[in-house]
Amino acid sequence: MLELDAQLRPVRAGAFAVLAVALVASGPWLGWWTMVPLGLSVVVFRVADRQLQRLRRPEYALLAAWVVSELIMAASVALSGGPQIPTTAWLAIPVLTLGARFSNRGIVLGVAVAAGLLVAVELGVNAHAVVQNPPLLVAPMALIVCVAMFQTVLMRSEIRLRGEILIDSLTGMLNRRALAGRVAELEQQSQLTREPVSVIVGDIDHFKQFNDLYGHAAGDALLTNLSYQLRKTLRAFDLCYRTGGEEFVILLPGAELAQAAEIAEQLRRAAAAVVSAGRQVTMSFGVAGAGRGDVFRYSTVFREADTALYRAKDGGRDRVELAAVEPAAARRLRVASP
């Protein structure tokens, strides 16, 4: 959902530009004030985009922004003349994005909101016109429903294909291919924002012995259960990837090293709560990160986290180790040097 929403942003910007051109061209007939609601919609989505990485449930922010944009559009249609103006059909435009962002329940809710606003606008502004000419309501209503039906099928197919490529079939975790794509995004963002990014590397303790003792079926069950616990512990943007048989990588955009260490400790406790084949499971973790003001380079940070993981293993396992923190002055000198 979050990946597809990111891909929608430039398309959404293009759609806003097209609507702006249409409103400018229609200004002598509709009035120039119609540009104001469009500007408000742009602001709403920009605010929502900025809040996503701070929220545990970002889909709520996306849904709120979507509903507000529909409300703004409905108010604009109502103030412009309601059912007797062609822009009534524009209420179907946001419906195009539902399948890329939300589950089936979210899609049904979105269609219900769009349909409800359409009825409220047309009957509230000029019910007499609708009664005299029902297609004024029926036609845009059918457009909203049909757009949702076709677009949902296409987007669900896209999500399924992406899932087959990017998701580990055993655990449901993201895989190495997904990790590479997200790393590239974070490295590009870091060049501009210099926001902190931390990496946690985790490894199941004595997993080979577990497999040898209880069999591969039990090992697969352990991986599945453990993966579920890790995902449940993390926030939406703290994505976890299975990169090897028993190795996991967690990316924490926006997290300083101290916060990443706290999250790693939460993961360690979550893993220790898993019991498989009558045996308690433990994990070891290494943590490293690029601090605020530094450029995030995954290969460097991962190497530091992996080194910390080996120290955790050597130190007795079932523990969290942090990478050695470089002094700020030395870090600035290293970054400034060619």
Cα(249)–Cα(227) distance, integer angstroms: 12
Calculate the alpha carbon distances from 307 to 3, 126, 301 in Å: 30, 70, 10
Query: Which whole-number Å values give the CA distances from 250 to 47, 177, 266, 267, 281, in the listed order?
Result: 26, 14, 13, 10, 19
User: How far apart are the C-alpha atoms of 145 and 110, rounded to whole Å?
Assistant: 10
The DSSP element (H or E) to which 27 belongs, if any, is: helix 27-30
Q: Which among 279, 256, 133, 236 is positioned nearest to 196, based on CA atoms?
A: 256
Looking at residue 44, the DSSP 8-state letter turns out to be H
**Can you say how many angstroms the Cα of residue 127 is from the centroid of all Cα atoms in its chain?**
41
C-alpha torsion 28→30→36→37, nearest 10? -160
Instruction: Tell me which of 70, 122, 195, 246 is the catalytic residue.
Output: 246
How far apart are alpha carbons 239 and 282 in whole angstroms?
20
Residue 252 β-bridge partners: 198
Q: Note the maximum CA span of the chain.
A: 81
Rounded Cα distance, 279 and 209, in Å? 12
* Other residues' Cβ atoms within 10 Å of the Cβ of residue 198: 29
Phi and psi of 107, rounded to 5°?
Answer: -65, -45
Q: What are the backbone angles phi and psi of residue 104, rounded to the nearest 5°? A: -60, -40
CA distance 145 to 92: 8
70 is catalytic: no
Cα separation, 37 vs 49, whole angstroms? 19
Burial of 201: CB neighbours in 10 Å, binned 0-12, 13-18, 19+: buried
Which amino acid belongs to residue 146? C
* Residues with catalytic roles: 246
